[in-house]
Amino acid sequence: MSRDGHDISRRQISENALKVLYRLHKSGFKAYLVGGGVRDILLGLQPKDFDVVTNATPEEIKKLFRNCRLVGRRFRLAHIVFGRDVIEVATFRGHHGENSDNISKSNAQGRLLRDNVYGEIDEDAERRDFTINALYYDISDFSIRSYGGGISDLNARKIRLIGDPETRYREDPVRMLRAIRFATKLDMQIDSVTASPIKQLAPLLADIPAARMYEEVIKLFFSGKAQATYKMMQEYGLFAPLFPQISRLIAEDPKGNTAKMLDAVMKSTDDRVNQDKPVTPAFFYAALLWYPLIQRADDIAVESGLPIYDANVAAMGDVMEEQCRTVSIPRRFSTPAKDIWQLQLRFERSQGTRAFKLLEHPKFRAAYDLLLLRGEAEGGNVAKQANWWRSFVEADEPQRIVIAKSSGKAGGNRNRNASQRKRRRKPAAKIKGNTAE
């Protein structure tokens, strides 16, 4: 597509991306803006990233840019660093032949472990995942090169894989999540052939390193389309491999508190993103894993006879450890998530004058927001507890003193936990001598 056939302007491309494109071009290399940057501009959206592809090797790129660092093991990439802005530059990928294991390697399931095979632009386009990402803006003449019907699919708002879907998903199972993410983010439909193998191949996601899945979850749920993404992931069976503890509870009770909490968290996350309010993985995971935590704590209390507070503290490590087997949660988020959990146990004991001290806790606001979501999901005593705290938080200082002094005993969760444990208690003969409080 010539310059006259599209409306992309260099004013829409970041200054740093243009610097990289021009230097590569002036040094005798081919240079293209590729993928999402081109796609989003054509859709009238503001691109989040500007990626560049070239026939220069990573080592040649590094010689051209002093501010370059080479990253990646599966596929070698160059990151050109401009302060906080990073322009990712990739070398054209080629097809696999009888190559040495040093540059290309797959596992028994077909997943690519190394992929440093270089080629030409036509080969690179065939190695792209979706046709709407096989779009190349040529800095030499400002034309757009579209492969596999990318422009047509963009106009038809269709997500379609390049190549055989099953083979491409086996090469990289994360492509199944990317299909969902692009469909919800761009308000597009997944092509039927592209969608067909997803349910069958969804379990392959269990083999993806947990650290990589952490980044994918952020992209899936922190882009303002969490509700739609969650719904589509459930439809294609992609949620359970990432969050097995949550999925087990939802399978047991599809309309229970866990399912209600999931819907509430996704809606809350979308609202905050769309209002340009901050969102944090600490709160997100604390809310998602609250009911798995409660179930594990009740099990520990029954099995060991520990008081429910101590059982909850013990359960926190178990629940977080199991989640990190599929989706890694960095300590900078898992630690505050545990703080948010612990504060849930203090809310019921802190109505009255103790509320003022709790209000000063650094994680109070996040914990309070979780309490409100729990009140919506559970109703009953938890809703009453949430309403008390809402009136306290929203009151001015003199009103807070009146509310605190007039407050009666906190009920809420303590009663709920006691009744739940009573239902799940083992036969008396098996726990003789235990006195769980």
- Give the residue numbers annotated as catalytic, written as ranges: 49, 51, 129
CA 256/CA 249 separation, integer angstroms: 8
Contact 89, 81 (CB under 8 A): no
User: How far is the C-alpha of 12 from the C-alpha of 144, rounded, in Å?
Assistant: 15
Which amino acid type is present at position 292? P
Query: Residue 347: which residues within 8 A CB-CB, separation 6 or more?
Result: 358, 367, 371, 385, 389, 410, 412, 413
From 130, 131, 133, 174, select the one nearest 40 (Cα to Cα).
133
Q: Residue 269 has which token pair?
A: 């996350």
Residue 330: Cβ within 10 Å count: 12
6 alpha carbon, distance to own chain's centre: 33
Check if the beta carbon of residue 17 is closer than 8 Å to that of residue 52. yes
Listed in sequence order, the residues at least 6 apart from 394 whose beta carbon sits closer than 8 Å to its beta carbon are none
First to last CA, the chain: 73
Distance CA 281, CA 394 (A): 26
Tokens found for residue 399: 């009103």
β-strand pairing of 68-71 with 144-146: unpaired
Other Cβ atoms within 10 Å of 82 Cβ, number: 15
What is the full DSSP assignment across 158-222?
A: EE-BSS-HHHHHHH-THHHHHHHHHHHHTT-EE-HHHHTTHHHHGGGGGGS-HHHHHHHHHHHHS
